[in-house]
Amino acid sequence: MDLRLSGKRALVTGSTSGIGVGIAQALAAEGVAVVVHGRDAARAGKVAADLRGSGVRVGVALGDLASDEGAAAVAKAATKALGGIDILVNNAGGQAQQSAAGFDNKTPDDWLATYNNNAVAALRLIHLLSPAMKERGWGRIIQIASAAASAPSETVPQYSASKAAIVNLTVSLSKALTLTGVTANTVSPGMIATPALDGWLDGIAQAQGFGADRARTEAYVAENLVQQTVGRIGQPHDIGAMVAFLASPLADFINGANFRVDGGCSPSVN
């Protein structure tokens, strides 16, 4: 399907590994010029070089989105690289502290830092890049939240709450963007097979005697640990496909929505 995205320009934050790479690849495959963002120049350069193989323009913007100054530098570099940004994908984020799991072990500082890394970091770039989108009369702002936003975990409550804030923020933003030609939506991934998950999956494979059979390991995890209705763990390209669609003109009539791409682990009528 032609998503009519050729020539559009996107900034994908946190796109030097995992889900961010999958999103950048999906957009590049549709002819979108992409700015790769991260904090490691070598990793960003490698992803950028790979994306250029798709025949699209690729830029790099380095910086920490946890501060106003860092976010401003990223927005400036991204805009300079491509001459403007039509599609903002707020994917960067995560837990700010790796303290012990559990509600009682998370201090107010843990909560504040994680909220800043997720919701506030996204807000910074929205403020910096959405005015030009509104001026042009077209744009897409897509937030990457988590299945934990609607099915929160007791082990990482601050992360779940910060992702729920992103979903809420996006609905408010969609209303603020009324009749501007700019839409805002959220994608909430479930368990996705990223490098960060490899060690955990290897441990399960060893404990269950699955050896190097990753497909069997993933099926076991999907059935017994995350209780999905789809018998595999998600892949970065699963999230990339949804983001590419929402970024496209074909999604003009979708605004303020949250799409759970989670293998059915958080079924809901809402």
Point out the residues that are catalytic.
159
CA distances in angstroms from 179 to 112, 123, 133, listed in the order given: 34, 20, 12
Q: What is the 3-state secondary structure (H, E, C) of 4-30?
A: CCCCCEEEECCCCCHHHHHHHHHHHHC
CB atoms within 10 A of CB 144: 27
- Contact assessment for residue 135 and residue 152, using Cβ atoms and an 8 Å cutoff: no
- Give the strand pairing for 87-90 and 9-12: parallel
Specify the amino acid at residue 177. Answer: L
Q: Is 226 exposed, middle or buried (CB count within 10 Å of its CB: 0-12, 13-18, 19+)?
A: middle
CB atoms within 10 A of CB 72: 16
- Contact assessment for residue 217 and residue 232, using Cβ atoms and an 8 Å cutoff: no
